[in-house]
Structure 1
Amino acid sequence: MIATRRSPLALWQAGEVQRRLQAGGRSVRLSLVTTTGDRILDRALDKVGGKGLFLKEIEQALLQGDADLAVHSLKDVPMVLPAGFTLAAVLAREDPRDALVARDGQVLAELPAGARIGTSSLRRAMMLRRMRPDLQISFIRGNVEGRLARLASGEFAAIVLALAGLRRLGLEQRVTEVFDVSRMLPAVGQGAIAIETRSGRSDLQEILAPMNDRATELCVSAERAVGRHMDAGCSQPFAAFARLSAGVMQLEAAHQGAGDAEPVFASASAPVSQVEQALRLGEEVAARLREA
Structure 2
Amino acid sequence: MSKIIRIGTRDSELALWQATTVQEKLEKLGYDTTLVPTKSMGDQVLDKPLYELGVTGIFTKALDVAMLQGQIDIAVHSMKDVPTQLPKGIVQAAVLERAITYDVLVHKGSSFLESDAPATIATGSLRRKAQWLNRFPNHHVVDLRGNVNTRLIKLIENDWQGAIFAQAGLERIKLLPKDAIYLDWMIPAPAQGAMLVVAMETDKYSHDALAKLNDPDSELATKIERDFLRTLEGGCTAPIGALAQIKDQKVFFEGVVFSLDGKKKAEIKKEVKLSEAKGFGEVCAKEVLANGGDKLMQEIRNENSALH
TM bucket normalised to smaller: over 0.9
User: Residue deviations 1:40-91, cap 9 Å, x none?
Assistant: 1111111112441111110111111111000000010011112111110000
User: Residue deviations 1:120-156, cap 9 Å, x none?
Assistant: 1110011111211111111000011111111112332
- TM-score norm. by structure 2 comes to 0.88
Which residue in the other structure is 1:2 paired with?
Answer: 7
Selected match of 2:168 from 155, 160, 164: 164
User: Is there any run of 5+ residues in structure 1 with no aligned partner, and where?
Assistant: none
- Structure 1 CA distance for aligned equivalents of residues 17 and 122 of structure 2: 24
Q: Secondary structure at the residue paired with 2:235?
A: coil
User: Is there any run of 5+ residues in structure 2 with no aligned partner, and where?
Assistant: 1-5, 292-308
- Structure 2 CA distance for aligned equivalents of residues 118 and 243 of structure 1: 28
Q: Which amino acid aligns with 1:287?
A: K
Deviates more, 1:40-49 or 1:11-20: 40-49
Aligned pair in 2 of structure 1 residues 63, 10: CA closer, same or farther (>3 Å)?
same
User: Is 1:130 aligned with 2:159?
Assistant: no
- Structure 1 CA distance for aligned equivalents of residues 152 and 115 of structure 2: 17
User: Is 1:94 aligned with 2:93?
Assistant: no
- Structure 2 CA distance for aligned equivalents of residues 170 and 107 of structure 1: 25
Aligned pair in 2 of structure 1 residues 125, 18: CA closer, same or farther (>3 Å)?
same
Q: Secondary structure at the residue paired with 2:283?
A: helix
User: For the aligned residues, what is the CA RMSD?
Assistant: 1.7
CA contact (8 A) 1:101 1:159 kept: yes
CA shift, 1:107, in A, is 6.6
User: Residue deviations 1:183-204, cap 9 Å, x none?
Assistant: 1000000000000111122221
Which residue in the other structure is 2:53 paired with?
Answer: 48
- Structure 1 CA distance for aligned equivalents of residues 121 and 272 of structure 2: 37
Aligned pair in 2 of structure 1 residues 108, 236: CA closer, same or farther (>3 Å)?
farther
Which residue in the other structure is 1:291 paired with?
Answer: 290
- TM-score norm. by structure 1 comes to 0.93
User: Is 1:32 aligned with 2:37?
Assistant: yes
Q: Secondary structure at the residue paired with 1:187?
A: coil
CA contact (8 A) 2:191 2:225 kept: yes
Equivalent pairs counted in the alignment come to 286
User: Is 1:103 aligned with 2:108?
Assistant: yes
Give % identity.
34
Which residue in the other structure is 1:270 paired with?
Answer: 272
Selected match of 2:192 from 190, 193, 199: 190
CA shift, 1:255, in A, is 0.7
Which residue in the other structure is 1:254 paired with?
Answer: 256
CA contact (8 A) 1:187 1:239 kept: yes
CA contact (8 A) 2:130 2:259 kept: no
Aligned pair in 2 of structure 1 residues 63, 54: CA closer, same or farther (>3 Å)?
same
User: Residue deviations 1:245-282, cap 9 Å, x none?
Assistant: 11110111111246676011012211125xxx545111
